[in-house]
Amino acid sequence: MISGVLYTNVCFSQNTPTTWQDRLEALKNSFNEENRGDVSFLKLLGYTYKGIIGSQTVKSDIIDSLLSYNAPAILHLPPIVMRDTVSRGDSCVIRERMLPKFEIISIRKRLEIAESIGEKSLLTSLRQQLDNLIHLDYEYLELEWSYKNKHFKSLCIVCI
């Protein structure tokens, strides 16, 4: 699935849900203990089926929505570094894990940040990427989710 922001570690056992509906229900109804760092603050609250992308006009409208100034976007931050020391007899091993750290900001704010660091064509680049990734006959949904107790809605493209 392509989503403006939904980012989570999905691990399923041999009872892996086979449809996108089952996968979303599994995400909505369970907490994955593998989620660490800021990912642990993401929670899928619900979703609404919107239909099939049946025309270029609908596809363009979806891309416009995903890139609208008030749409949510991910601002990746330097990762959280977790260090762990393990002693084995007379040796010591230091393990490091990098955990995702990010904030959810508006597309407008993301574009301002990009411009301030000299990245002038971010919107054009994102539009081209979405145009290449989203195809006619894909289904799409509206997701309702929260991050650090703030509620968001965004479109999600089903491409599985």
Q: Is the pLDDT of residue 47 over 90?
A: yes
**pLDDT tens digits for 61-116?**
999 999 999 999 999 999 999 888 888 878 888 888 888 999 999 999 999 999 99
Q: Give me 3's structure tokens.
A: 């989503």
Q: What are phi and psi of 22, to 5 degrees?
A: -65, -40
| Average pLDDT score over residue span 35-44 | 85
Q: Residues for the chain: how many in total?
A: 160
**pLDDT tens digits for 130-152?**
999 999 999 999 999 999 999 99
Query: Do the Cβ atoms of 48 and 112 come closer than 8 Å?
Result: no
DSSP reduced 3-state for 18: coil
State residue 86's pLDDT score: 83
Flag whether the pTM goes above 0.95: no
One-character DSSP codes across 30-99: ---TT--GGGGGEEEEEEEEEEE--SHHHHHHHHHHHTSTTSEEEEEEEEEEEEEEEEETTEEEEEEEEE
Q: Is the pLDDT of residue 4 over 50?
A: no
Q: Is the pLDDT of residue 24 over 80?
A: yes
What's the DSSP call for residue 19? Answer: S
